[in-house]
Structure formats: structure tokens, C-alpha cells
Amino acid sequence: MNEQVKKCVLNAGAGPANAGRLHFAFAPSAWAEVRLDIDARALPDLVGSFSDMRGIIDDARFDALWSSHAVEHLHAHEVIPAFREFRRVLKPDGFALITCPDLSAIARYLLAEGSEAVAYNSPAGQIRPIDMLYGHGVSIADGQISMAHNTGFTAPRLARVALEAGFAQVRTMEGECFDLWAILLAPEASVEQIAPMFADTALAELFADLGVKQAASSPA
């Protein structure tokens, strides 16, 4: 029996190798991951900036793209080029899954609690609104300058940017920890075929209009 041919997902801005960094909807039995990062010390498969992947990645190479807490590190002038690159490296029926800090949720908390109130604890330490807006202060102080945040997104801005970059459809939702989630569909992508991947996750909310049900107490 022939082994199942896996689809390919690009982890854009992957950071260090870590099994938990790829969203679990991309099951290892069905998906092969290719990691791209600008920092060679992270030992990615491909070294470079996802704002310009020409010369590194051919057109229409990937079935999907995953980017977790990376797009906020772009400078404002790099945002549209990066999303155009996301669209370029995807197959015509591909999709991108993006998560990043949600400026709207952060702003609500900041106004209620102040810029330096501890919003939650992470493996990197305490996270405050000022960290979510500008990057984790302790990490930056330790010399990890790439941790700085140079732009930010609300759901309307992310959707506008993605549509301007050539995606045909954008679905967004607010996460549970000051995060924004979005799925960006290339022109020939079938949302009906993609939605079942997320049926057992909190991201089923992205497809609620299709009748996709969220599993109880499931993570994003």
C-alpha cells in the first residue's frame, strides 16, 4: 500500500524547533512542516524574512501557512508585502492560519487595569499590556531585540490587509488570551473542505455559519 502523500505547511516565523509551535490541526500524519525563521540560531529549514521569500520559496509551493505571534514583529511598511508573500507561496486552493495579539482586547484590559497590570503568566514570565503592545520587556532587556513588536492588528485591519494582499476570504475571531485568530483563504480554497480540520478546536467558531460545532473545553 502506498504511503499517504502529506500536504505541506509553512511555519512562517517559526522560532526554535518545538512540537507545540505548530497548530495541532496540522496533524503530523497528514501534514509535513517546513520551518522558516529570520534567525539562523533557531535552526529553521529555511532562513529568511517572511516579508520577502523570493529566492527562498517558489510560487504556490504550500498547501497551508501557519504564523503564530510573528506578524506583529513586522514594521508597518512590511505588512502588505508579507501578506502578499503569504498569498504567493500558497497553492490556489491553500489557506493561511494567523494568530497575533489583539489590539482591541489589549486596549480594553489596559483601560480597565492599567498598562502594567499582570494580565497572565507565560513560560517567559509575567505578561502585561505594555508587553503585548511593544514586546516582552524582560526578553528585550536580555538582548532578544527581535522580540520587539513593531505593529499591531485589530480584526478589521488584519482582514483589510489580507484582502488587499490577494486573499479571497478572511474569517477572524477573538481568542481567549488577548489574541486574534484569522483564516485567510486563497481564491480557489474551499471553506467547506477546510472547516472540518478545526471542528474539535475552539477555532470552530470561525466556521459557525457552516454548522461546525466547537468541542467542549477545547483549546484553540
- Residue 91, judged by CB atoms within 10 A of its CB (0-12, 13-18, 19+), counts as middle
Nearest to 63 by CA among 181, 182, 190: 190
CA 144 to chain centre: 20
Q: In this predicted model, what pLDDT tens digit does every residue of 97-128 receive, in sequence order? A: 999 999 999 999 999 999 999 999 988 889 99
pLDDT value, residue 4: 72
Say yes or no to pLDDT of 213 above 80. Answer: no
| Domains of the chain in sequence order | 7-102+153-210 (3.40.50.150), 109-150 (no CATH)
pLDDT at 219 exceeding the cut of 60: no
Phi and psi, residue 157, nearest 5°: -65, -45
Pairing of strands 7-12, 31-37: parallel
pLDDT (tens digit, 9 = 90+) per residue, 22-80?
Answer: 898 999 999 999 999 998 988 999 999 999 999 999 999 999 999 999 999 999 999 99
Q: For the chain, give the secondary structure using H, E and C.
A: CCCCCCEEEEEECCCCCCHHHCCCCCCCCCEEEEEEECCHHHCCCEECCCCCCCCCCCCCCEEEEEEECCHHHCCHHHHHHHHHHHHHHEEEEEEEEEEEEEHHHHHHHHHHHCCCCCCEEECCEEECHHHHHHCCHHHHHCCCHHHCCCCCECHHHHHHHHHHCCCCEEEEEECCCCEEEEEEECCCCCHHHHHHHHCCCHHHHHHHHHCCCCCCCCCC
Q: Could you tell me which residues come within 8 angstroms of residue 64 by beta carbon, excluding any fewer than 6 positions away? A: 7, 8, 9, 10, 26, 31, 90, 94, 95, 96, 97
> Using 50, 70 and 90 to split pLDDT, how confident is the model at 220?
low
* φ, ψ at 36 (rounded to 5°): -125, 135
What mean pLDDT comes out for the span 195-219?
78
Please check the confidence at residue 217 and state whether its pLDDT lies above 50.
no
Cβ atoms < 10 Å from Cβ of 144: 14
pTM of the model: 0.92
Report pLDDT for 1: 39
Give me the pLDDT at residue 147, please.
86
- pLDDT at res. 64: 98
